[in-house]
Amino acid sequence: MTSLVKIAFDLPHPPHSLFRLYLSKLPRTHWMGLLSNIHGAATAVASSHRQKRASIDQPPRTGEEANLADASDDETSILDQEQGSIILSMISQLRMDMDLQKVSFPTFVLEPRSMLERITDFMSHPEFVFGSVLSQPYVLTLFKGLSNLSAEAIPNPEERFIRVLSYYLSGWHIKPKGVKKPYNPVLGEIFRCRYEYPDGTKGFYIAEQVSHHPPISAYFYISPHNKVRIAGELRPKSKFLGNSVATIMDGENRVFLMGRPEDGEYVLGLPNMYARGILFGSLVLELGDTTRCKNDATGVSCNVEFKTKGYFSGTYNAICGKVKSNGAEIGAIDGRWSHQLDYKDGKTGEKRVLFNARTESKNVVQKTVAPESEQEPNESRRLWSKLTTAIANKDMEAAQIAKSEVEDAQRDLARTRETKGIVHKQRFFELRDGLWQAKIEMLDNPDEMVAAVEKWMWAPPPS
């Protein structure tokens, strides 16, 4: 058994589909014993590998070795013995293909912010849709000399689509080191912030956890003077798949260029997330599967494939997709979402850089969030402040206590509502036409819209 486990552990990505099938045929007590053996062997092999690495002065790596090393720096995690034991304890709660909504994850895998705040990563590079107002130097070389124009001012619908697509893809590089997941928002939790842009214009973002069973996060962004609006919802579902955990990212971003009402909405799907190496190997976070991005009014679309690394070949964080106009291919994107994305024109063969994450990560637009002392009790940073502090202090015991306090309080509120027959009311969003939409009227005048948004977002909570 140990030899077989060691062989499996030494593979970059073991054939988990066969492993899942094997586990599914075993009685629960038997396969949990197998997991314990795997954990013990994996710990021993990992320790051996670490000792070997420490004793060898390795030369610079190139090619595939460099790719793997690069991924290890950013996307992998090495567990110590205590953390490995906690993972094994968590796994003991699991069954194959089980929905993980009710499983409590250990605090050392948590990213110290709520999912409601993490969604703001998609708004981090507005230069793609705002145009020259925020353009960084590298943007001036892109988009066929149209960088001084906002996306809505570009006459070519295909180029407008590529701008919006670039805006969407530019946010994925923002992530913590290693394999981390943000806090699961609790029902009624909110996160709100504002953006102050260099030209004096503003942007506003509000998110609310509108449902707990199933979990649904609704969000809304608007920059009235820049004529950009984003609405969306996130409905994650997590499953245990043997040596990995999959988070199925149902939901979508809907981008509106308000100066182009004839375009309607740009609908941008979300890739799924995979945390691999739970039982053996290093923990690795990958985005995977194909997501559809489209604009029905103009007929332009792109099926974006987020590629996971193969067992014996390939690279991490690869991405590709063919851009089509009314079914005819007009270009293609490819690259790595953590590094650089390129676009190749189907007619001319010209290739240009859409986004370089390595050089432009320093240009992420910063948001302004009210101090915790001025926030409401259900605002994300205040709600989870004890947990965030404990994680920063690497105090796992205090972190678990803080996490349990928030979750237990929410269970008490749920029981109280059930006992009294109270139905939870969403504060900032409502369900219309099957979508969660912001409870605010859209105004044509940008100054009036800014005033309306500020009044709506920071109004006192209902009594």
3-state secondary structure 392-418: HCCCHHHHHHHHHHHHHHHHHHHHHHH
Q: Position 331: which residue type?
A: G
Nearest partner of 186 among 378, 373, 51, 49, judged by Cα: 378
What confidence score (pLDDT) does residue 148 get? 63
- Cβ–Cβ under 8 Å, residues 145 and 159: no
- Cβ–Cβ under 8 Å, residues 192 and 205: yes
For 53-108, strand residue ranges (E) read 76-77
**CA 166/CA 65 separation, integer angstroms:** 29
**CA 368/CA 348 separation, integer angstroms:** 43
What confidence score (pLDDT) does residue 317 get? 87
**CA 153/CA 43 separation, integer angstroms:** 57
Query: Which stretches in the chain have pLDDT values below 70?
Result: 1-108, 132-148, 176, 280-281, 312
- Cβ–Cβ under 8 Å, residues 227 and 258: yes
**Both tokens assigned to 113:** 């912010």
What confidence score (pLDDT) does residue 274 get? 84
* Number of CB atoms found within 10 A of residue 350's CB: 11
Q: Looking up tokens 């988009």, which residue turns up?
A: 143
Burial of 297 (0-12, 13-18, 19+ CB in 10 A): middle
Nearest partner of 300 among 274, 325, 280, judged by Cα: 325
Q: Is 136 helix (H, G, I), strand (E, B) or coil?
A: coil
| pTM given for the model | 0.79
Nearest partner of 282 among 30, 49, 3, 110, judged by Cα: 49
**CA 172/CA 170 separation, integer angstroms:** 6
Per residue in 366-393, pLDDT (tens digit) is 999 999 999 999 999 999 999 999 999 9
Q: What sign results for the dihedral spanned by CA atoms 276, 99, 392, 170?
A: positive
Per residue in 7-46, pLDDT (tens digit) is 333 344 444 444 444 445 555 544 444 444 444 444 444 4
**Both tokens assigned to 265:** 């909405």
What confidence score (pLDDT) does residue 229 get? 96
**CA 91/CA 87 separation, integer angstroms:** 6
